[in-house]
């Protein structure tokens, strides 16, 4: 494995460990941790379930997939966020998954499987837009953040596959029949703000149903995925509450 990948993973653990350890259950929800969803002993195939209470009734379910560009991080970075969502009346499933390069996204999904094209009637909620249009980070819409672009292209060989790039670009898989989505951004997210805005503008121009919100800081500078990494911020709580309102309204 590329030693740079080990460095990136170590740096992510180091950066997030103090925040995760400081308050492991800030909202007092019921936690069932490290449940295997495949019987192979691989920690990448485990999940946590958060519920408002041990005897919580039948409730809507939110599935969380952590970020990290398919390369790093784990479900633990989403733990406090998922617990906040659970405290608002949901069951939340927070999953690990096989990272790259141990897992091969192209061969796992099939180059022509239209992996990003969603057709089943469902509520699709993206708490940060980058998790959806990975194609916007590839050939067709390179970000202005050059170091992030180079790192992504060097470490993610599947983005160099032109067929993958075509299938994953949002102007390929999004049309007027795409399920309604909600996503948010902040202008101080230097990593992805311009791409998120570009996707929003594309969806407006092509009459693709969605809700888009921007949030600005009142006291602290909001960074990338602020509502997940810092759900205790007032601005983050506002974003998450807006997302949950969308979820409840769309789920009917």
Say yes or no: 43 and 111 in one domain. Answer: no
Give mean pLDDT, residues 149-175.
65
Least confident of 7-11, 133-137, 240-244: 133-137
- The domain boundary, picked from 103, 120, 142, lies at 103
- The domain boundary, picked from 75, 103, 131, lies at 103
Say yes or no: 81 and 14 in one domain. Answer: yes
Say yes or no: 89 and 175 in one domain. Answer: no
Supply the pLDDT for residue 107: 52
Say yes or no: 137 and 213 in one domain. Answer: yes
Please calculate the CA angle 202-223-240 and round it to the nearest 5 degrees: 75
Say yes or no: 84 and 137 in one domain. Answer: no
Say yes or no: 244 and 123 in one domain. Answer: yes
- Using CA atoms, how far residue 149 sits from 16, 155, 156, in Å, is 23, 10, 10
Sorting pLDDT into bands at 50, 70 and 90, what band is 113?
A: very low
pLDDT of 61 higher than 80: yes
pLDDT of 252 higher than 70: no
pLDDT of 199 higher than 70: yes
- The domain boundary, picked from 103, 129, 164, lies at 103
pLDDT of 121 higher than 60: no
Least confident of 41-45, 95-99, 131-135, 246-250: 131-135
Give mean pLDDT, residues 195-202.
90
Say yes or no: 64 and 165 in one domain. Answer: no
pLDDT of 218 higher than 90: no
Say yes or no: 88 and 118 in one domain. Answer: no
Say yes or no: 242 and 187 in one domain. Answer: yes
Least confident of 53-67, 147-161, 212-226, 232-246: 147-161
Say yes or no: 228 and 129 in one domain. Answer: yes
Tokens 């089943």, residue?
Answer: 120
Domain CATH for 137: 3.40.50.1820
Say yes or no: 244 and 131 in one domain. Answer: yes
Could you tell me what percent of the chain has a pLDDT over 70? 75
Domain housing 55: 1-103
How many domains does the structure of the chain reveal? 2
pTM for this model (two decimals):
0.81
pLDDT of 143 higher than 50: no
Say yes or no: 77 and 115 in one domain. Answer: no
């Amino acid at each position: 494995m590329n030693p740079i990948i080990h460095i990136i993973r170590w740096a992510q653990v180091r950066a997030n460990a103090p925040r995760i350890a400081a308050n492991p259950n800030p909202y007092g929800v019921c936690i069932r941790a490290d449940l295997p969803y495949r019987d192979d002993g691989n920690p990448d195939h485990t999940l946590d379930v958060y519920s408002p209470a041990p005897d919580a009734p039948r409730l809507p379910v939110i599935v969380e997939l952590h970020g990290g560009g398919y390369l790093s991080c784990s479900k633990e970075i989403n733990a406090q966020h998922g617990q906040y969502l659970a405290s608002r009346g949901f069951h939340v499933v927070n999953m690990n998954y096989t990272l790259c390069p141990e897992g091969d996204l192209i061969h796992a999904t099939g180059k022509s499987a239209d992996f990003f094209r969603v057709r089943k009637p469902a509520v699709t909620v993206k708490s940060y837009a980058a998790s959806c249009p990975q194609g916007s980070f590839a050939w067709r819409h390179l970000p202005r953040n050059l170091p992030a672009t180079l790192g992504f292209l060097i470490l993610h060989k599947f983005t160099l596959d032109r067929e993958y790039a075509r299938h994953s670009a949002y102007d390929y898989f999004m049309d007027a029949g795409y399920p309604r989505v909600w996503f948010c951004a902040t202008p101080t997210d230097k990593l992805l703000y311009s791409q998120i805005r570009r996707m929003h503008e594309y969806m407006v121009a092509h009459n693709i149903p969605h809700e888009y919100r921007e949030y600005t800081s009142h006291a602290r500078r909001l960074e990338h995925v602020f509502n997940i990494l810092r759900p205790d911020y007032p601005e983050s709580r506002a974003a998450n509450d807006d997302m949950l309102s969308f979820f409840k309204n769309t789920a009917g």
